[in-house]
Structure 1
Amino acid sequence: MYLAAVLREAGEEVEILDADLLELSIDETAKKACRKNPSIVGVTATTPTIKNALKVVSAVRAIDSGVVTVVGGVHPTFMPEETLLSCPDLDLVVIGEGEQTLLELTQTLKGFQWDGRDYSAAKEFAERVSKVNGIAYRDPSNPNLIRFTPPRAFIQDLDKIPLPARDLVPFEHYKLLGKDASIGAIITSRGCPYGCTYCSSSRIGGLKFRARSVDNVLLEIQELYYKYRLRHIEIIDDIFTLNQKRAFEFAKKLKSLKLDVNWVASSRVNTISRDLLRALFSAGLTILYYGVESGSQRILNLMRKGVTVEQIRTAFRITREEGVKSCGSFILGYPGETLDEMKQTIKFACELDADYAQFCVLTPYPGTPVYDELKSKGLLLTEDWDRYTTLEPVIKYEVFGYTAKQVKKMLNYAYRYFYLRPRYVIKHLRFLPLILGVLMRSYVIPKLGLDRLMGSSRSKISPSLSS
């Protein structure tokens, strides 16, 4: 929606198709994307959606041989060459932040349309796109040779990006989990100064924390409130509380607006304080997400997490005492972790008395330091990206003294152990439908293999953008 807003502000005609929300098949997505004869069709892709994203690209090309096809997102940013070589129907990859890159591509390709795939057309295409920073494309004389333009500089002033083009999507269908209420997601910052080994945020967004001004963020919240009548907001920054002075300012100004909204955000345990929690709670904060990852200090150190077990305990205690609900995320199966340390993490999650917990299997996504390490040592079980879902082990765990099957069993055990404790069930009885939904998606469906069965008739894909 941010990309679409930039294009539209520049006078381009643009549409957004959220195929996942609409539960469209690959072919249905391609037909809808091509119905108005777009000049460019772009698809956003993460690692577990990249294969389906490329299937959409091929389906689009089968319908309209003249359209320019583009893929962007986290996965192609770190795997641009592989992405292009695995799909002959893909014309180029956008690397990194896409707002300015996509705008320049749209402008430089104005009037261009593939008329056959001969050398002349490929040469003209390459000459045009070679002037745009932040992309990868094919050499016109050798389609197996991938060319790269200079890297795109990060956008320093995020306030210059227009508010998302939410009117281009069926906004009323974005629902709050477990409730018949719409929710709006916003991004208020980019970049992360931390270098956790399992995360690519600092690589894709840079080590420098870049934030929108508080006033700019509040403009978007007021638009969500008055124009779209939303009362539930999710701030999807990696670390909303990284700049505590800014977080205090946000809380003060949001509270002064007297909007009947509640919102959720994410924090590190070492970027939160009792005073800040109190301020955020008074401004409508209901749930704070913490990336705990492990209950073992040894594993936290291996992850380069930069926090201590005691800091984690303190953060959850003061969060609870200040009336804010907490959700902890935990990783099982980190390379070198023992089965006993995994059990320690599961028990630690219960000890923290978090309101919600999310467990996942360590998934070494391209772009993360742990992926680079495992790849270099030949310890990746598979590079079938469909399996990189955080629910299925993709590492050769035998070298660490156990099996992938044991890690999967540990994940199932974690959800049962946390959510089916009598004390927890009694305390959260009114949220039982929500809890059961979490268990179904995270435990029952994967355990029975129903996720593959349910996905066999309709392939889930990422939203596509056509201009």
Structure 2
Amino acid sequence: MLLVNLPYLEDIYSGLKNAVAIQPPLGLAYIAAYLENKGESAEILDANALGMSIDDAVKKAVRSKHSYIGITCTTNTIHLVYDFSKKVKEKCDKIIVVGGPHVTFSSEETLKECDEIDIIVRGEGELTSYEIVKGISLKKIKGITYRSKGKIISNPDRDKFEIDINNMPFPARHLLPLDRYRPGAFFNIGNSGKEYATIITSRGCPNKCVFCSSSHFWKTFRVRKPKNILSEIDLLVKEYGVKHLHFLDDTLTVPASRLEKICDGLIERDYDLEWNCYSRVDIITDDIVRKMKKAGCFGVTFGVESGNQKILNKIQKNITLNQIRKAVKITKMHDLDVHADFMIGLPGDTKKTIIQTIDFAIELNPKLALFSITTPFPGTQMFDEMKKKNRLGNIKWTEMTMHEFTKFGNSIVSSEEIKKLYNLAYKKFYFRPRFFMCSTKRLIMHPREIWPFILGGMYMVSQK
């Protein structure tokens, strides 16, 4: 199977492209590793990292020796999948298989929208992809939606625990163009190419926020054991020379006992390795952050989302404003970079609560505040609720963006007002004396961050 990561950089981001992270498609690399482990041939075409055009990717796919083409996508990139699939089918009859969050939750709709796609893989892709390539009858494969005699058929979902993530082969990084990856402007400590890597140590999320599809996509929250994780880190450091490791888990710090064992292992190894991660605020304690720092952690991203407690409750975030304040304070105290994510236009948001969110970001004063426009993606509770209320209208997937613009208001604040408040959030947070003073002080202490800081500024200024 040829596994394809389509070139989305130019299409999705309007700002300076050099400031945007280019990360390995670990999902595809896991599928490739699983196929190889089962004796099947696999190839990865990371057209995004290679800077290819859609037409270039089509040529590569058509020339590939593989009969199956597997594509991963999100809602932001589904239009690219349609374009790619149509152009491939014009030139050959290879079987096109598509997976990822978007098609998992809109599988039948996807096949209706694009005649050229043959099979949708819903949810976890390793075992399903193997059974497809193996030639098992489609009607016997769980977790797929496909065409049969002019009809669209959706087979039952896969069972929850068919894949043991502690016994899976590590991602097939040997099939990736490792010299092409980079961290972008944020959490950038100067390493790129083979010195920069990503890792996933869990699947799913223990929380069920209304704006996120993670818990629905993975169905259950599963974690890899510390020994398994440390073995992969050993490989990354010793074989590839990795110096910056980015943990991509929705929340690395759950459960805390597992995180401590990972940190103990890293402390014992004493690698020349630094890492960053995402965390919930309610897990953070002084002892945990101290150990994270000792183990090489240099930065943490917190999903704050809102500065209004009622809004946090409404979106089922299950955290409090005081827990957020405490977590940010503790993390800063240990000189770790703090990034905080906020959402503009959440369910129940008014202009007043959005202003409170902006003011809360300023109060917390993280190293970076990242604001996004709330978007109801398929697979989220928010999407389902808006669909029931007929508030989605005629959806164009290209309008599902978290930064550029939005067509979705929240029934209280219009889409136009949300965009204005989004722009205001960036202006108020970044164009203030305290931010410049803190940034200048930090850059003097950490000169390696000067260029990433400049890149980040250039990206924000160049956004349309």
User: Which range, TM-score by smaller chain?
Assistant: 0.7 to 0.9
Q: Check whether the contact 1:198–1:370 (CA below 8 A) recurs between aligned residues.
A: yes
Of 413, 416, 425, which aligns to 1:414? Answer: 425
Of 291, 306, 310, which aligns to 1:279? Answer: 291
Q: Distance in 1 between matches of 2:418 and 2:411?
A: 13
Tell which deviates more after alignment, 405-414 or 253-262.
Answer: 405-414
Q: Distance in 2 between matches of 1:6 and 1:352?
A: 43
- Corresponding residue SS for 1:289: strand
1:131 aligns with 2:144: no
Displacement, 1:436?
4.4
Q: Which amino acid aligns with 2:184?
A: L
Q: Check whether the contact 2:50–2:180 (CA below 8 A) recurs between aligned residues.
A: no
1:260 aligns with 2:267: no
1:40-189 equivalences in 2 (<5 Å):
40-65=68-93, 67-108=94-135, 128-140=137-149, 142=150, 145-155=151-161, 157-178=164-185, 179=190, 181-182=192-193, 183-189=196-202
Identity of aligned residues (%): 37
Displacement, 1:306?
0.6
1:346 aligns with 2:358: yes
TM-score (norm 2): 0.87
- Corresponding residue SS for 1:328: strand
1:65-464 equivalences in 2 (<5 Å):
65=93, 67-108=94-135, 128-140=137-149, 142=150, 145-155=151-161, 157-178=164-185, 179=190, 181-182=192-193, 183-206=196-219, 208-380=220-392, 383-397=395-409, 399-400=411-412, 402-429=413-440, 430=443, 431=449, 433-441=451-459, 443-447=460-464
CA pair 403-432 structure 1, distance change in 2 beyond 3 A: farther
Q: Check whether the contact 1:381–1:394 (CA below 8 A) recurs between aligned residues.
A: no
CA RMSD in angstroms, aligned pairs only: 1.6
Q: Distance in 1 between matches of 2:394 and 2:280?
A: 31
Q: When the two structures are aligned, how many residues end up with a matched partner?
A: 422
Displacement, 1:268?
0.5
Displacement, 1:108?
1.6
Q: Distance in 2 between matches of 1:174 and 1:394?
A: 30
Show structure 1 runs of 4+ deviating over 6 A: none
Q: Check whether the contact 2:348–2:410 (CA below 8 A) recurs between aligned residues.
A: no
Larger RCO, structures 1/2 (Cα 8 Å, 6+ apart): 1
Q: Check whether the contact 2:347–2:410 (CA below 8 A) recurs between aligned residues.
A: no
Q: Distance in 1 between matches of 2:329 and 2:340?
A: 13
In structure 1, the gaps of 5 or more residues are: 110-127, 448-467
Q: Check whether the contact 1:379–1:395 (CA below 8 A) recurs between aligned residues.
A: no
Q: Check whether the contact 1:362–1:393 (CA below 8 A) recurs between aligned residues.
A: no
The Cα offsets for residues 72-105 of structure 1, whole Å up to 9 and x where unpaired, read as: 0000000000111111111110000001110111
Displacement, 1:378?
2.1
Displacement, 1:186?
0.6
The Cα offsets for residues 215-261 of structure 1, whole Å up to 9 and x where unpaired, read as: 11111111111111110001100111110110111100111011110
Q: Distance in 2 between matches of 1:254 and 1:361?
A: 37
The residue aligned with 2:18 is none
Q: Distance in 1 between matches of 2:296 and 2:410?
A: 47
1:28 aligns with 2:56: yes
In structure 2, the gaps of 5 or more residues are: 1-28, 444-448
Displacement, 1:276?
0.8
